[in-house]
Chain A
């Protein structure tokens, strides 16, 4: 069976330290002012006037039906067989159309190279058998990366355990029909 890479975030563990953002930037020389992964904060009012802050990491969702792949005129953005949505830099003309097409705002324009850029699940690293830089760096072990087609992989175990323990598992904006591959787990 083909590999299908995905990532799960156990978001109760996220403390918004931004180590993932920094490691990604350092690993891939991401241009100034841009990040391939983000952590967003949400402030919620609870009972008795107390507030609660939620942290939600996000990155490219490597959607099975990615809008960026549909709208890319040159087919530079494409779905690889292992589930990764990849931008072929030698084909991208830099028309920027994919950037507003992404409902997760995961892409940005690299002014130096003149191409669209985003998370690649650290493709060269995983080819060497390493984990993506963000998953390796995360001190809280929020990010679990792996092949969800392999029942013995860590991510399959984590997702299975979450299901068994009736934890909340969801993906972002599934209503848009993009079939994303980043799982969010919350107790």
Chain B
């Protein structure tokens, strides 16, 4: 017995070592590099940089703006997202599957594309140009909400769909009006999901990069864009490092709070593991009554809000000089040296696709490993604690900005014993880092929901551990696994933050090309950027539609 446990422990330790080593090289090392840049000078510890950066009035302004915008966007996302979750997951709404897909779509739209969308809508000459919101903080806020609403809708919706209806019915039978049932029974039951989603939205908004860079211009900046600016334009690596660390500390703090909110204490014995969320069979959607009218009204507004920028983008990409034309799309295939681009749009798309596939293989492989490890039932409190720690650690990249990862990698690459700088794997690995937490979040709830006695039953009937895995785990997880593949693919295709630091100038990815194009003057360049955005959006959305057909509730839910 003891011998077997030691053997199993060795396998577990090795399995945990692989993702941890990956995290160490592509996450901890960059962060360590950042610390060294910020606090280490002339062979000694030097904290003067911290004081300097923090004392700078601009820093205060940037941090304040970052936090205030993230808080405002989180508030709007929750207030709007909960009624939408109700309408799309609890009501027998015609076409709700399509609407669900529509609401999730922005989440996988490349940040750069979202930026381009809002600009083409709000810029002078755009459909909403008369609002005069181009380059305003309101535009950034709208883009944040556009982007992150899906997180609230998916997370709360998945929880709501799986909610046992009987307590609600019991409350109603005790004389509670629908509104009272909602506030006294439903809302408390949804609270963990709402808290979880809100924290994730806050993290995403606080570390948003591409959207702010394309929409904020020079007037507004967040910690992320400031790091980018300090690194690339002002070459103040120390200042950038201090800001990165500041953000890192804040995010780790935040994740600890989320972790506390998500689960209450470790599980010992033969339980089904950490989390508190269970995925039960969805209950039948309810009929639409007048009580549902507010939810339906909010949902209609949200659908319009999401559809408008998309339609505007597509429409404007089909125009040049006020006329309808395919010229912008034709230009995607042409190599025009005047634009200073080394590749055509299609070549950039091919580059993006190749990189995304490599990144997906890495992210899904590691993510599956991590998900299996963290959901194994723990026998001791120590084991339960270690599993929860691993679970939290792989979530770090979710909150740590891609810019930090990209920038950190850039300055620590030469520390590695192998040459990664020129390796074609560099960008895929960095993107895998970004996609890894999403893969784990898709797979872990499904694996956690498996009754461990199913595995025990199989083992007792003579199935070897690998056969047990095929019979029980794989059976439950193959759809989520496919969904995770699509999700990772979509995220990698649109990844901009880390890629923008690491990309080789002669082989840009499509998001990088789009960003370069909108930075150049001229209607031709803008038109090309619009067309490229439509193509990129079409590819990621197609992938997500396929994912959506798999009907996995944990995709995009936190």
Partners in one complex: no
- B residues adjacent to A (C-beta < 8 A): none
- A residues adjacent to B (C-beta < 8 A): none
